[in-house]
Structure 1
Amino acid sequence: MAEQQDNLDRARIHRALSRPALLFGADRELVLIAGLASVILVFVVLTVISALLGVAIWIVVVGLLRMMAKADPLMRRVYLKHIKYRPYYRPTSTPWRTY
């Protein structure tokens, strides 16, 4: 039995090649967009209150994005693919079928 397992070839796949790209434990693009929006808020208004509000908004949004990534790291891509689907697909063998 052990001889059969020794004959199998195994290809090692490094963990970094199969993991999604996360930043602060959340989707990279969404974290960067949230940070950009917060920085724009801070530098457009230029008050201490806007700086505190921008930092607070960024912390809350990153926390929510981390919860989303913990549920499914690819949730953003899945949702974007989901909204591209049509609400109804006709039961035909091909979309170019003539009636």
Structure 2
Amino acid sequence: MILTTTESISGIQVDTIGLVQGTGAHAAPLTGGAAEAPTKWLDRALAAAAARMVEEAERLGADGVVAIRCAPLSLGAGTVGVAVYGTAVKFQ
């Protein structure tokens, strides 16, 4: 599956299937150990959101997702969240 932030894939004609999206969140661990950097939480949330978006695209029979964008989610103190979305396409 090709994933890109661009609006098209150079040299490939595509048919639009539709919008696909995924969300992910990660909370700060509530342990007495050393705290992880918040960027690691965001990395995990982003990876989960992207994986869910790809799963949705695969269920629709897509060959790729174009115009991928990310948006932060406000979930409260100690939790980071992100939404990832794009347009699922089928190669001609």
The structure with the greater share of residues assigned to strand is: 2
TM-score (norm 1): 0.31
- Higher RCO (CA-CA < 8 Å; seq separation 6+): 2
The structure with the greater share of residues assigned to helix is: 1
Which structure has the larger Rg?
Answer: 1
TM-score (norm 2): 0.33
